[in-house]
Structure 1
Amino acid sequence: MSSLEVTTDPTELGFDPKRLTRIDDHFAQYVADGRLAGWQVVVMRGGDVAHHSTHGKRNLETGADWTPDTIARMYSMSKPITSVAAMMLYERGLFQLKDPVSKFIPSFADTQVYRGGSFQAPVTEPQTEPMRIWHLLTHTSGLTYGFHNSHATDAIYRNAGFEWGIPAGLDLAGCCDAWAELPLVFQPGSEWNYGVSTDVLGRVIEVVSGQSLDAFFRENILDPLGMLDTEFWVPDDKRDRFAELYFRNPSTKQATKMPAPSLTEKPEMLGGGGGLCGTAADYLRFTQMLMNGGELDGTRILGSRTVDYMTRNHLPGHADLEEYGRPLFAETTFDGVGFGLGFSVVLDSAANRVLGTEGSYSWGGAASTIFWNDPAEDLTALFLTQLLPSSTYPIRPQLQQLVYQALVD
């Protein structure tokens, strides 16, 4: 599927077409009142596009419309791709999920764990449980992000130059060694905390495969799936399709352009946790591969059992993220939502208080993007926009309720 054209009557796919228009009507208001510059939404069922629309601008300053082939920063929607890449190497027997991270990145052998004190004078202790590959895939490693602003270790990350960017001159290997010098939020495996775990996993991929992360992605995922517009940078011949990045101006409440890396050439640091840019059509190639049990158009990326294993809850005691996780950054709570190997997983949609289906798995990006796959309904939804951060508006739960209300079969 390279086209996003709706070629099947939505009624044949179980949708009420009039109800599908509620999605566009709702999010068009976000553009009309200036909350978003523009957006794109795709709803698929059974591998067919049931609904696709774009609205508004990808660049308010130039007036360029958001078109079907617009390239967006995926941010953390890079994480599922990195997780799949790691599991491809796992399927080759090149590591085990219980392997210590230090087996591949030696600097993590001595990483300390925060116990108390201030960010300026932290009190630490050694790891009692080694950080393992499984911890990276499930965000139970104890690594964090500087932008959380919720713990002393976040401030330590910011002081070291890790907030929304990285210190100049560091590549992925250098970043990992720098993070290994900073204290963990908690003992590995004891809690869930969103952080640079998937970036560290990207470095493990490089060490195990002997390739740079971009080369491994291109050879093993992007080219085989025909994701030709997805990369860590946007070359000159595609610049005119690249969407601008915005934030909510606290004074005007309007989407306002914010400074962002130009990404005109390959970056020094290849961030598997948030560095990819791409189109909706490309990302849907990836999601449909997952929906098909690891295969698309005759190209197999993963075994079907691996996909099933990745998209089940891996949190100890079958806990959800509200129970097992640190206070989260999102625009919604995570009651009834667990976490697998690179994806959140719905355990109880009633507990989550959002219309949906148990077994659905998803993830989103910092610029308010989101995808989810619902195997029970054979449904995929994708929403792209470019508003930082994703917690600004409740776009994701609103999209979910609008998609499911349109199903009537």
Structure 2
Amino acid sequence: MAQLKVDTEPGEVGIDGTRLERVDSHFRRYVDDGRLAGWTIAFARRGRVVHLSHYGLADIEAQRPVADDTMWRIYSMTKPITSVAALMLVERGALELTDPVSRYIPAFADARVYVSGSAAKPGTVAATEPVRVWHLLTHTAGLTYGWHHAHAVDEMYRAKGFEFGAPRGMDLAGACEVWAGLPLLFQPGTEWNYSVATDVLGRVVEVASGQSLDAFFAEEIFAPLGMQDTAFSVASDDIDRLAALYVPNPEGGLTRNSAMGDNATRTPTFLSGGGGLVSTAADYHRFTQMLARGGELDGNRLLGPHTVAYMTRNHLPGGADLDQVGRPMFSESPYRGVGFGLGFSVVVDAAQGKAITHDGEYAWGGLASTAFWVDPAAEVTALFFTQLMPSSTYPIRPQLRTLINQALLD
């Protein structure tokens, strides 16, 4: 099991320890007034862990407190891991960013694009160019999520059983066949829409590598990084470490969501590269340290530093931000002043985004209000874990960002 512990004093890495105390005091109120069950916060600077705290309960019903080894459903924080897997294959020559997805999933060869009509009778035209690997990495493929509830194509996804996850018994290959047969929202590469694109990318990884996604993750990423507690499900003898999943109760407090939460206790048929992993603070900290160090950790190199730099720059068409080319709906990032790289949001203009941060910060979050970011300019990595869905419920991420950055002295 990976261990996470504070290994430096705030002043040794340019942090005001008194101002840093504001982080915990602020987020304790979320637990004390019933908005969250509990949380873990971890913060490192210059590769040194300067802050690690837990507060509240991992499971309200069992009265089990959050602990060092608590396991969390990270949902869309799976996406950066899948994106790293794809770029590892690019570096090996097994994959090209410009490859048509149909090279790996033939059903994508005849993509159609929605132009008018209802979900029952959509009007479509042929795609003017193929859906390519880089479109999947940047969410510019024209795919969507059923849970958006914003477009006729979203309704088509729901009609096929795709709102959260996949229909029972369907595997990743089968899901990709269905998605390939549905219209795209727009011509590939022209707009941004948060979508199942990273799940499709996971299938591309499988075909290009000749391994199942769980095997590739375990052998090529988790083992080298020492991420022993990260997987697509929780082993039976570790279930008492898994945090419970909650939603807000309209009458106050929290309601347990066992219908979705219990999925993490079963080995899935559908290996979701877009949202299927369970992890720990210690494990995901190691993943962020690999990124912050340019693709290497403890002598194990997953990616070259130039590849990490390339992944974490803005790849949206014309250098636009999400406010300009993104479909207007909630995702795991603000839109203004934020672009998108190959698997991460990227701050391109912190002033436009009205967030106390730095250009070049890259990040993502998960459906249950988990979040991480890496800020190369400030030499900071930060993690927040809780289990409240949806992640739009409270402004946890911008508040945490401000509270950490206000404590930096240099």
User: Which TM-score applies when normalising by structure 1?
Assistant: 0.98
**Count of matched residue pairs:** 408
How far the C-alpha of 1:183 sits from its partner, in A, is 1.0
User: Which 5+ residue runs of structure 1 have no aligned equivalent?
Assistant: none
Mapped contact 1:116–1:124 kept (Cα < 8 A): yes
Question: Which stretch of structure 1 is more off in the superposition, 74-83 or 17-26?
Answer: 17-26
Map 1:207-218 → 2, pairs under 5 A: 207-218=207-218
Q: Is the 8 A contact 1:331 1:393 kept in 2?
A: no
- Range with bigger deviation, 130-139 or 17-26: 17-26
Structure 2: distance between partners of 1:265 and 1:246: 18
- Deviations along 1:125-184, whole A, 9 cap, x unmatched? 111111000100000000000111111111111111100131122100000001111111
Q: Which residue identity lines up with residue 15 of structure 1 in the other structure? A: I
Query: Is residue 331–residue 394 contact of structure 1 (8 Å, CA) maintained in 2?
Result: no
Separation in 1, partners of 2:84, 2:25: 35
Measured in 2, the distance between the counterparts of 1:198 and 1:262 equals 20
The yes-or-no answer on 1:254 pairing with 2:241 is no
Q: Where has structure 1 moved over 6 Å in runs of 4 or more? A: none
The amino acid of 1:379's aligned partner reads V
1:297-317: per-residue Cα shift (whole Å, max 9, x none)? 000000111000000000111
Which sits farther off after the overlay, 253-262 or 7-16? 253-262
- Alpha-carbon distance change, 333 to 291 in structure 1, aligned in 2, over 3 angstroms: closer
The offset of 1:332, in angstroms, is 6.5
- TM-aligned CA deviation for residue 69 of structure 1: 1.0
CA distance in 2, matches of 1:35, 1:119: 37
Matches within 5 A, 1:83-232: 83-232=83-232
- Secondary structure of the residue aligned to 2:198 is helix
Structure 2 unaligned regions, length at least 5: none
What root-mean-square deviation, in Å, do the aligned CA atoms of Structure 1 and Structure 2 show?
Answer: 1.2
CA distance in 1 between partners of 2:252 and 2:134 (Å): 41
CA offsets 1:92-132 (integer angstroms, 9 cap, x no match): 11121111000100001122111111122111111111100
Cα separation, 1, equivalents of 2:230 and 2:376: 25
| Equivalent in the alignment of 2:271 | 270
Q: Give the match's secondary structure for 1:191.
A: coil
Amino acid at match of 1:273: G
Query: What CA distance in whole angstroms lies between the structure 1 residues aligned with 2:68 and 2:276?
Result: 21
Question: What is the deviation of 1:7?
Answer: 2.4
Displacement of 1:219: 0.6
When the two structures are superposed, what TM-score results if normalisation uses the length of structure 2?
0.98
Counterpart-to-counterpart distance in 2, 1:232 and 1:12: 38
The whole-number CA distance in structure 2 between the counterparts of 1:192 and 1:323 is 9
Take 1:296 and 1:150, find their aligned partners in 2: how far apart are those partners? 41
Residue pair 2:248, 2:255 contacting (<8 A) in 1 also? yes
Report the counterpart of residue 373 of structure 1 in structure 2: 374
After TM superposition, the structure 1 = structure 2 runs for residues 8-407 of structure 1, keeping only pairs within 5 Å, are 8-250=8-250, 252-258=251-257, 259-260=259-260, 261-330=262-331, 333-407=334-408
Q: Deviations over 1:186-219 (max 9, x none)?
A: 1111100000000000000000111000000011
Amino acid aligned to 1:74: I
Report the Cα distance in structure 1 between the residues aligned to 2:57 and 2:285, rounded to whole angstroms: 21
Which whole-Å CA distance do the structure 2 matches of 1:325 and 1:146 have between them?
A: 17
- What secondary structure sits across from 1:108 in the alignment? helix
Distance change (3 Å), C-alpha of 1:383 and 1:181 = same
Task: Return the letter of the residue paired with 2:162.
Answer: F
Preserved CA contact (<8 Å) 1:69 1:241: yes
Q: What is the rounded CA distance, in whole Å, between the counterparts of 2:323 and 2:285 in structure 1?
A: 29
Q: Tell me, what secondary structure is at the counterpart of 1:30?
A: helix
- Measure how far apart 1:330 and its partner are: 3.8
The residue type paired with residue 312 of structure 1 is R
Give 3-state SS (helix, strand or coil) of 1:388's partner: coil
The whole-number CA distance in structure 2 between the counterparts of 1:123 and 1:269 is 30
- Name the amino acid aligned to 1:47: G
Aligned letter for 2:394? Y
Q: CA deviation at 1:32?
A: 0.8
Is the contact between residue 331 and residue 392 of structure 1 (CA under 8 Å) also seen in structure 2? no
User: Which whole-Å deviations, capped at 9, do the CAs of 1:227-271 have from their partners, x for residues lacking one?
Assistant: 000000000121111011011122x13221012233334210000
Q: Contact 2:70/2:241 (CA < 8 Å) preserved in 1?
A: yes
Whole-angstrom CA distance in 2 between matches of 1:25 and 1:263: 31
In structure 1, distance between residues paired with 2:254 and 2:350 = 32
Which whole-Å CA distance do the structure 1 matches of 2:185 and 2:25 have between them? 43
